[in-house]
Amino acid sequence: MEKQVIIITGAARGIGREIVKELAKQGHIIICNYNKSQKQAGELKKELEKQGKNIEIFQADVSKQEQCKRLVQFTLEKYKRIDGLINNAGIDKIQQIEDVTKKDWEEIINTNLYGAFCMCQEVTPNMIHNKKGWIINISSIWGQVGAAMEVVYSISKAGMDGMTKALAKELGPSGIRINSISPGIIDTDMNSELTQNELKKIEEEILLGKIGKAEDISKCVKWLIEDKYTTGQIISINGGWVIT
Ligand code: NAP
């Protein structure tokens, strides 16, 4: 299989980390972005290099346009092309609408939506030039159906899915595929504040009877990269928790 140069944002922990491992296993060249998790990023690099895999780690806060630019410039200077981008970095805050401050709004929207937009803006000129490439946006089921107490997060992920559809239309003729993977609930730090009781209740609502694992998402990413005829789609991976 052809080795691809792939940027994954927010990938030292959680779902992103699992995607890095899966794609490195396939022999791809991985640019693993992290923001605060420098130690985990360093450990991941060490672990994968020991196995002979190709991985770079690069610190950047994707909520800042200039830092997205640096991440892409680093990749292009070193590898001369970008085959794929996975917008995975994301944050959430559980709060009622009346408690949402301008700062909360800016942090969530700038990280989840503006950051993903900036990354797309930075990588697409190279992809258009090469007449090939793909982007996967890790959105959320809440972008499709909305979550109480997570209005800003839901807005950010709905925006991301809108971006997926718009860019698929704009860039399909240039040979670029863009899709969203929309997870339900996945066992990562993001859900660490849920109590055992809350998790049990959610499991009872899921048709397949269990919380998802990061590898449920990384397996879908692997399939989507190999596939050549899917674009503009929102692919829900949620154990049948929500059927849209
Ligand atoms: P997580 O374990 O909390 O990890 C979040 C990741 O995002 C971290 O690696 C973090 O990097 C990165 N990040 C946050 N702000 C960033 C910034 N400004 N710049 C760069 N990276 C940043 O969460 P996760 O569950 O793996 O989430 C990954 C994605 O899946 C998110 O987009 C999330 O919305 C989505 N998702 C998750 C679930 C779920 O149930 N877990 C469900 C639906 C969708 P640092 O630690 O380096 O700062």
Residue 243 within a domain: no
- The residue whose CA is least distant from atom 12 of ligand 1 is 10
Q: Which atom of ligand 1 lies at the shortest distance from residue 141's CA?
A: 43
pTM over 0.95: yes
Question: Is 170 a member of any domain?
Answer: yes
Does the structure show a pLDDT above 90 at 100? yes
Q: Is residue 28 part of a domain?
A: yes
**Does any domain span residue 72?**
yes
Is residue 11 assigned to a domain?
yes
- CATH number of the domain to which 205 belongs: 3.40.50.720
Q: How far is CA 66 from CA 59, 121, 156, 238, in A?
A: 12, 12, 20, 34
Cα 110 to ligand 1 centroid, rounded to whole Å: 13
Domains of the chain: total: 1
* Active-site residue, 153 included: yes
From the candidates 34, 114, 153, 229, give the one annotated as an active-site residue.
153
Q: Does residue 242 lie in a domain region?
A: no
Tell me the CA distances in angstroms from 63 to 75, 115, 168, 200, one per residue in order: 18, 5, 23, 34
Give the residue numbers spanning the domain of 132.
5-237
Distance 89 CA to ligand 1 centre (A): 4
CB 218 near ligand 1, within 6 Å = no
Per-residue pLDDT tens over the stretch 31-81:
999 999 999 999 999 999 999 999 999 999 999 999 999 999 999 999 999
Instruction: Return the pLDDT at 2.
Output: 82
